[in-house]
């Protein structure tokens, strides 16, 4: 046990350093020696569990619960190890009608809906997909699952098709919401588009029968220099710049995170075991047979 507590202390110290110095976090938490430290902690817990197994076999219920608590840590750790070694993550940006792969299956995006509260702020956003197993909805906190694959709603936005005119020259390009398009050669001034930041105006924009409103932002170094409202299909002259911008079309976009994590069932099993055994420890009475070991 002294070794275990010492290892806990070391892991705690390294964890604290990584949390207060973000620049070091990736290096620390991903380093081989930190993983080895965690492995040593799990090994120590495993040995402690084996030591508890014999007295727990014949002892009172509380000893069995203690054995399960320690054992659950090992189960969780083995599940995490499997997941860490073999996980795969992909992020896809999709629009209605797009298809994408989830494992061996091909899914089709049927629709993307933004749900709002009465004040216009976003309540939820839902991506409806057609899969070989039927229609599924993906929303934040409610991923879709198939086998070891999980598809999570990680973000949403709009993608715009833009026509720009300046001093007789024109250019057409695609621009995603809140990304900057450089207007000057040195990139000092940029153009960004987004749905109106005013929630109620944005809510009106979600209705396909309403004229689509776009907030046009002139930016510099991340700061907003100028904000103007534009309507899709109608050209907008940007103040004294001489720039004319027309947002020709926009389409709802959904960002989905596809995560393949084998061995997840082990982590779930370990967590359930831990919750059960901790609760048992709370409820079971202590007996004289629970002699503390040195």
Partner 1 sequence: MPDFAFLLARQETLFYLIHLFALLAAVGAYSFSQGLWIGRGLVGAAFLALGLSVSIRTWEAGRIPLANMYEFGLLLGLLLTILIVVVDFRLRLRPLALAVTAGTFVLAAVQLLFYQEARALMPALKSWWLTSHVLTAVIAYGLLAVSFVLALVGLFWRTAPERLESFVNRLVTVAFPFLTLLLITGAVWAEYAWGSFWRWDPKETWALVTWFVYLAHLHLVRTRGWKGRRVLWMTVVGFLVVIFTFYGVNLLLSGLHSYA
The alpha helices in 31-173, defined as continuous H runs, are 32-58, 61-86
Which residue from 24, 25, 82, 262 is in contact with partner 1, where contact means CB under 8 A? 25
Which residue from 43, 81, 281, 284 is in contact with partner 1, where contact means CB under 8 A? 281
Which of 138, 139, 69, 63 minimizes the C-alpha distance to 107?
138
Q: Is 241 in the site for partner 1 (CB under 8 A)?
A: no
183 φ, ψ to 5°? -95, -20
Q: Is 85 in the site for partner 1 (CB under 8 A)?
A: no
Closest approach, Cβ 59 to partner 1, in A, equals 15
Candidate ranges 166-174, 189-197, 205-213, 275-283; the one touching partner 1 (CB under 8 A): 275-283
3-state secondary structure of 108: strand
The alpha helices in the chain, defined as continuous H runs, are 2-20, 22-30, 32-58, 61-86, 199-206, 264-283
Q: Which is nearer to partner 1, 110 or 150 (CB)?
A: 150
Q: Which residues, other chains included, contact 175 with Cβ-Cβ below 8 Å and sequence gap of 6+?
A: 159, 160, 162, 181, 191, 192, 193
Which residue from 38, 56, 75, 80 is in contact with partner 1, where contact means CB under 8 A? 80
Positions that interact with partner 1 (CB under 8 A): 1, 4-5, 8-9, 11-12, 15-16, 18-20, 22, 25, 29, 80, 89, 117, 119, 121-125, 139-143, 150, 152, 154, 257, 259, 267, 271, 274-275, 278-279, 281-282, 292-294
């Amino acid at each position: 046990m002294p070794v275990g507590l010492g290892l806990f202390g070391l892991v705690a110290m390294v964890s604290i350093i990584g949390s207060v110095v973000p620049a070091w976090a990736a290096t620390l938490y991903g380093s081989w020696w930190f993983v080895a430290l965690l492995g040593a902690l799990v090994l120590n817990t495993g040995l402690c569990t084996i030591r508890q197994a014999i007295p727990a076999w014949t002892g009172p219920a509380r000893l069995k619960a203690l054995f399960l608590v320690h054992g659950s840590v090992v189960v969780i750790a083995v599940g995490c190890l499997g997941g860490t070694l073999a996980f795969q993550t992909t992020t896809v940006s999709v629009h209605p009608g797009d298809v994408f792969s989830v494992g061996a299956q091909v899914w089709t995006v049927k629709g993307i809906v933004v749900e709002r509260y009465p004040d216009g702020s976003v309540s939820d956003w839902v991506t409806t997909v057609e899969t070989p197993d039927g229609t599924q909805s993906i929303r934040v906190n409610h991923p879709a699952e198939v086998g070891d694959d999980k598809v999570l709603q990680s973000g949403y936005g709009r993608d715009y098709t833009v026509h720009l005119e300046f001093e007789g020259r024109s250019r057409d390009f695609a621009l995603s919401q809140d990304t900057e398009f450089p207007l000057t050669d040195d990139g000092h001034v940029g153009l960004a588009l987004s749905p109106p930041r005013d929630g109620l105006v944005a809510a009106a924009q979600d209705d396909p029968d309403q004229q689509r409103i776009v907030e046009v932002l002139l930016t510099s170094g991340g700061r907003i220099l100028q904000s103007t409202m534009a309507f899709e299909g109608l050209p907008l002259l940007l103040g004294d710049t001489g720039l004319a911008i027309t947002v020709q079309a926009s389409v709802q976009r959904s960002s989905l995170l596809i995560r393949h994590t084998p061995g997840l069932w082990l982590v779930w099993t370990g967590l359930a075991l831990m919750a059960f055994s901790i609760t048992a420890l709370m409820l079971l009475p202590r007996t004289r047979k629970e002699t503390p070991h040195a």
